[in-house]
Amino acid sequence: MSPSSTPGLSRLKKNHQLSLAGVAALGVAALSLSLVPGPASADAEVKEVAAAPAAAWSGYRSAELQAGIAGQKSAFEVKAAAETKAKAETAAKVKAAAAKAKAAAKAEAATAVQVKAAAAAKARVTTQAAASRTAVRGPVYANNLDGWIREALDIMKKHNIPGTYEGIHRNVMRESSGNPNAINDWDINARNGVPSIGLLQVIKPTFDAYHIPGTKKSQWDPVANIVAACNYAADRYGSMDNVNSAY
């Protein structure tokens, strides 16, 4: 049957005709390959050739992925190590600062204790020096009736002679009005040649008998006069406090 007589063949488009021609050509090529002797078939070779690029691509992608993961892991590890080191350094600085502050506070406290101890030692030395000067020099009394009575009382206390400030002062004011140079030149004692002299108007025999060592041996001395008179009053009346008139 001629091509013109084949139903529908004339209606095939040009591209369909080309496709049929290509199929035919592939068939011839396949037939030719099948006739060539070799270790493997053409299909196996085609599959191997086709599979090789895919395998190579897959291996490349796997290595690249692993390298990326390893790089990220390494970066994270470096960052974590740096952060840990920074934290450790900060903690060490804080600890060092706290230790320094504690040491400074301790040193300051020790200095304060030393200063306080030095002040206390200085105060003790000053007190001891003052006490030594007082012991050597003795107390200072005013040179008046108040001072004379107070000095006489301190001497009387050492010799266990009774008497009070009030008792002494009262009798002094009655006998001499507080004048240590007072003298009675008109009574019986004066007529006998032993006038009463001084604050408590003591005659010479009485003064000599009751004089206390350590005081001046003179009726005119106010302190010696008071002490001797109080010693006499204690012997005769129990105390100068008990004397309320001439004695």
Where residue 224 sits, what CATH number does that domain have?
1.10.530.10
Asked whether residue 110 is domain-assigned, the answer is no
Query: How many domains does one find in the chain?
Result: 1
Q: How big is the chain by its Cα radius of gyration, in Å?
A: 69
- Looking at the predicted structure, is the pLDDT value of residue 52 above 60? no
DSSP, collapsed to helix, strand or coil, labels residue 128 as helix
Mean local confidence (pLDDT), 207-224: 97
207 lies in which domain range?
A: 145-242
Asked whether residue 36 is domain-assigned, the answer is no
Distance, in Å, from the CA atom of 235 to the CA atom of 229, rounded to the nearest integer, reads: 10
Categorize the per-residue pLDDT at 149 as very low, low, confident or very high, splitting at 50, 70 and 90: very high
Distance, in Å, from the CA atom of 149 to the CA atom of 223, rounded to the nearest integer, reads: 7
Asked whether residue 179 is domain-assigned, the answer is yes
> What is the average pLDDT value for the chain, to the nearest integer?
80
Calculated CA dihedral for residues 159, 162, 165, 168, nearest 10 degrees: -100
Asked whether residue 202 is domain-assigned, the answer is yes
Looking at the whole model, is its pTM more than 0.75? no
Residue 121: its pLDDT value, please?
84
* 93 HSE (CA, 13 A, CB side): 6
Asked whether residue 200 is domain-assigned, the answer is yes
